[in-house]
Structure 1
Amino acid sequence: MRGSNQSGLRAYNQKLVLSLVYTHGSLAKTDIARMTGLSAQTGSVIMRDLEAEDLIIKGEPVRGKVGQPSVPMSINPDGAFFIGLKVGRRSAELILVNFLGEIKGTLRKSYPWPTPPLIITFVRDGLEDMMQLLPEELRDRVAGLGIATPFLLWDWTEQAGAPREEMDLWRNCDLRAELASFCNMPVYLQNDATAACAAELIFGEHQDLSDYLYFYIGTFIGGGVVLNGSIYSGRTGNAGAIGPLPVVGPEGKTVQLIDRASIMLLERMLRASGRDPSPLWNSPDQWTGFEALAEEWVGSVSRGLAQAIVSSAAIIDFEHVIIDGGVPAEIRDKIVAATRREISTYDLRGLEVPKILPGTVGHLARALGAASLPLFDKFLIDRNTRLGTA
C-alpha cells in the first residue's frame, strides 16, 4: 500500500472486503474486522457503502447466546454483470454472467476460421442481444467486456487450414481497441487458455486448491499456472502456454504437444476417414458417431499429457494437475483416467507426481474466464498477478 492516497486506500479496502465476502459466501462485520485488521468502525463504514451500492446484501440475523445478533452480508448476484467473449479458431462465444458467475445468456458462432470483421460483427450484434436479457434498470450494472483469445493467431494459419491472407488480417488488428470503439464499457484482453484457468480458479469446484498446472484441450491445447491461489501469467502474460512443449510423436519423432493433444488432431482424423468434423465445434457437449476414432484420439492425448506433466513436475513441484477442455464430460474423464495410467508406466524416481483431476467448468471456461477480467479489475483483489489489462 506504499504511496496510496486516502481515496486509493479506501478503494483497496472495499475490494478487500468484497474479495473476502466473495470467497467465504457470507461474513458478518465482526468477521471482516478480524480478517482485515480494520477497526470495527472502518469495517462498518465500508460495509454500509457496499450495501448502498447494491454490491452486498444483508442476510437473516444469527442470534447467539450473548450480545447483539450477527448479521451476515453476502454478494448481491444482481450487483454487477459481466460479458465475456471467447475467440476460438473454430467458434466464438459471448456470455453474460452476474456477480456470482451465474450464466444469464450465451451466444455461439461457428466458422471455418476467424477473421477480425467476422468477430467484430458478432460482438456488435451480440452485445445488443445480451443487454436485452437484463431488465432496463440493471443494464447500467454491466461492468465490462473481457476477451479471451489465442495470442498471435496468424502464427497458426497452417495448422488451422486457413488462407494466409485472411489470418494475416490479425497482425494489424487491435481487437480490444476495435471493440472498445463501440462498447459503452471497459474492455479487457487475455490469452484464452489463461482465461480458462482463471474460470476454473474462480468459478470451478476446486477452489480449495492453491497450486496446480492447468490444461485446456481446445482446437489447440493451452494451459495455465496457479501458484499460491492466484494465476501466474508470467512476464508476457503467456505462462503455462504448454502447446509448444516437445513430446514424442509417431515413429518416435519429437513434435509439439499441440500436435498430440489438440482437438485439431481429431478433426484431421475425421476428415481422413471421410467424416464431417463439424460436431466437434457445433456440439461440444455431445460427440456421437465416431466413438472409435475418439478412443484412438484419447490415447494420443493421454500420452502427450503424461510427458508434459512429468516434465513440468520436474520444474515446479505442482500438487495437482487439472485437465479440462471443449470436450464432452465423459471424454474429459477418459482422458484423465488414461493420463493417470500412462504416467504410471514412467520411471518417476526423484519426482512426486501431482494428483490429476478433471476440470469442472467445461467448454465455457474461456468465455467465463474472459468475463472474470472486469470482475477482478473492478471489484476483487488478485494476490499475485493481473489477469488482464484495460
Structure 2
Amino acid sequence: MSAQKRLVWPDVAKGISILGVVLLHIGIGVPEGESTWLYQVNTWLDPLRMPLFFVVSGYFSTKILNYTLRDVLIKRVWFFFVPYLLWVSIELWTKNLEWQWVFGNEPLSFSELGLNLLLGHNMGWFLHALIIFNLVLVAVRKLHPAVAMLISFTPVLLLPLNEHIYFIGKALMYLPLFFMGVYLRRAITVFVEAICRLNVAALSFAAMTYAVGYFSRDMWNQFTGEVALPWYLPGMDYMGREEILLLVRFVEQTFQLPMALVMAVAISYIPFISSFFAFIGRNTLPIYLGHPIALTVGYHYVQIVGKWEISMAGEGLLHNTWFWTIVCIGLSAAGGLMLWSVSKLPVVGWSVYPPSLRQLHTMVMHAPVLRQAPGRD
C-alpha cells in the first residue's frame, strides 16, 4: 500500500461520517423521509458513521500524549471552541425562531443558550465532545495505556444522569472509541495495511465482529416490552430501556468498527468516488456547522409559510417527499459552501478556522496604533 493510499482512507472515513449525518437530519426533517431508500441505506450505516469519525479523530490525536494542559488548550481546544461558540449559537437562534413561529416558544435567552452550549445539547455536539475528549486525554496522558483505556469507560457510572444530560450517552458510546484511536493507532495501521493486501484473516475478522455487533442489536430489538435491570450504584434503582439501549449500541458499534474501516479503505481505492468522499472529509467542519442552518432557513421556514402536505405519494413537486429530500440535499451543500466561503474571508473567516493564539497575539501587538489628532484630548 502506498503512503498516499494510507492517507486517503481517514478523509474518506470522515466524509462517510458527515454525509451520513446530513442524510439523517434530512430524513427526519422531511415528512416520510424515513421511507426513502437513501434513509434506509443510511440506517444500515448508522452503527459505522460516528464511531468511525471518533476513531479517526483519536487516530490523529496521539500527539496530545506529549502535550501539557496549556498546549491542548492553545493547540486543540481553541480551534474547536471558537466555531462551536459562534456558529452553534447561530444555529440555536435560527432553530428557536422556528419554534417560536410553530409552537409559540419563548425567545432564546442568554442563560438558555449558555446552558445548551455547556451541555452540548445542540447540533454541534460533536465539537463539544471533541473538546471534552481532548481534555480527558491530556488529563490521563501520564497513566499506563491500559489504565487510560479503562478510565474511558467511566461515563457508564454517570448513566443515571443521561435523562437530563444527553452528553453522558455520547461520552459512553464514543469516548472509548476516541481512546482506541489514540492508544491502538499502531494496531489500526497494521489492520488497515492488512486490508489493503486483501488479507483473508483481517477480512474474516471484520466479517465476524460485524456479525456479532449486528446480532447483538437484533437480539435486543426482539424485546418489545418494558425491560429493567438492577443498578447497584447511586442515582437510580434500575436501568430502563433507554439506558440499556445505550450499552447495546456501544457493543454494536464497537464490534462493527473493523468493518467500518474495511469500508473506508475499500472506497479509498475507487477512482472519483474516493476523491469525492475525501474532499468532503477534508471539509467536515463547514459542512457540519453549515447544513443545519441552511435546512432551518431554506426548508423549515419555507414550510411554515407554504404549509404543504408532504408524503411519498404526494401529487405535484411541492407535496412530494423525494422533491424536498433533493432540495434539502442541495440546501445542505449550499450551507457547507456558505460556511467554507466565510472561512476564506479576512477576519470573518476566523469564526470557522481561527488563527492560533500565538499568531493572534502577534497580530495584535504589531497592529498600527491610531494616534490622536493634534490639539484634541
TM-score, normalising length from structure 1?
A: 0.23
Q: Which of structures 1 and 2 has the larger relative contact order (alpha carbons within 8 angstroms, sep 6+)?
A: 2
TM-score, normalising length from structure 2?
A: 0.24
Question: Which structure is higher in helix share?
Answer: 2
Question: Which structure is higher in strand share?
Answer: 1
